[in-house]
Amino acid sequence: MRLGHWRSVGIVVAGAAAAGWLLADATASLDAQASRPAASSRPEAAGQAWPTWRGPLGTGEAPAAKPPLEWSETRNVKWKVALPGLGKSSPIVWRDTLYVTSAVPGDAGALKFSLIALNRGDGKEKWTRVLREEKPHEGHHPDGSYAAGSALTDGQRLYAWFGSRGLYAVDFTGKVLWEKSLGQMQTRNGFGEGSSVAIHDGTLVVPWDHEGADFVVALDAATGKEKWRTPREEPTTWATPLIVAAGGAPQAVLSGTNRVVGYDLASGKQLWQAGGTTMNAIPSPVFADGLVIAMGGFRGSMARAIRLADARGDVTGAPAQAWTYEKDTPYVPSPLLYRGAVYFLKVNSGILTSLDAKTGAVRFTERLADIPNVYASPVAADGRIYIVGREGTTAVLEAGAAPKVLATNVLNEPVDMTPALVDGELYLRGAKHLYRISAD
């Protein structure tokens, strides 16, 4: 479900969005930069932002953050603020502000589809913009919400995606610059919507897989005008696109039940395809060292690593398909790619597997005793991996070839959403509140 199937859950649903760009990290080597999504030309430091739900690299890593190791309701919680309505989207961070989406009850069953800006220092609301008010045409999964897609920013504008309720470009004061409607989705089993959108170099990529006519569409980020639209043949999908710009012309990679596909970002032309992940495709793909890794784990298990340098036409097999792994893959949480390893959870449980990202060799599989259920996607910073359980408990592990739990932190609130890591802070959205966790 990314879930949301739920993204953020990325309920995921989820999950929120993998970014097609990143903030330039002046300390990164040229080799490291070549393995990441395309860098922005803006001079912001990587530690100043978590611009999409999977972070500045689109992998779950915060390259410059140093968040706390330990916290509780009474320790290292800088602030805790109630959020209106219901949203299963993750917070994003840009400079001194956090942004979250929410569906707030209105009159006669209508919902106010809202983008909320909060001050990073004290959690106080800066502004709320109601982008659409209407009664949804269908329901959602019990664990999902009508605000499942996370916001994102390219440093020029904010973008809020509510699926059938539209895509909106907003400036940093909350002024709506443009809006785009693509119709109404009819999701599988009425599970609801949950993908986020992706952006690179002025192009937004919007997935539209449902139980009707499917397509992926590219929009001009400045105007909302359509650049291209390419038909797809997939059942409902909740995975967010990944845009990869290393080593060639930028391309958008979309996971799906039937196929994993790479599209030319400039034209929408299909460049390659591989076999699919599993039914109810939710986890978003990741990329490093020339490999796209896509996976799914509903009624089956599949992880595929595709070598983009060799990806032309049907690549279901060697040499383009570098490896596959058919065990313990995730249903809702997206994988984490960190320091040459890919980390993922079995279905929606706290059973963590780590593979060597280049070879697919198993490094370990370990059950996290205090994390029985998971929707949030794992994140990493400062040599640590953070895994948030649905009950509000977060396990912090040392990144390495063997699992080592450094801390187990408990909040008194369920959590389905992926955290944001910036500087010395961790932002965590629970069922009712948004937390800033920091030592200062």
Check residue 1 and give its pLDDT. 36
- The strand order across the sheet containing 226-232 reads 198-200, 203-208, 214-220, 226-232
Q: Which two tokens stand for residue 179?
A: 């809006």
Angle (CA) 193 195 199, round 5°: 145
**Helix, strand, or coil (residue 310):** helix
Check residue 146 and give its pLDDT. 83
Residue 171 CB burial class (10 angstroms; 0-12, 13-18, ≥19): exposed
Check residue 15 and give its pLDDT. 33
pTM score of the predicted model: 0.90
Cis peptide before 56 (omega within 30 of 0): no
Check residue 32 and give its pLDDT. 31
Residue 319 CB burial class (10 angstroms; 0-12, 13-18, ≥19): exposed
Check residue 227 and give its pLDDT. 98
Q: Are 142 and 5 in contact (CB under 8 A)?
A: no
Q: What is the DSSP string of 165-229?
A: G-EEEE-TTS-EEEEE-------GGG----PPPEEETTEEEEEE-SSS-EEEEEEETTT--EEEE
Check residue 213 and give its pLDDT. 93
Check residue 247 and give its pLDDT. 73
Give mean pLDDT in consecutive 10-residue pieces for the chain, a chain of 440 residues: 38 32 28 33 57 95 97 98 95 97 94 97 98 90 84 97 95 98 88 90 96 95 98 94 90 96 98 95 94 96 95 90 97 97 98 97 97 97 98 97 96 97 97 95
**Helix, strand, or coil (residue 163):** helix
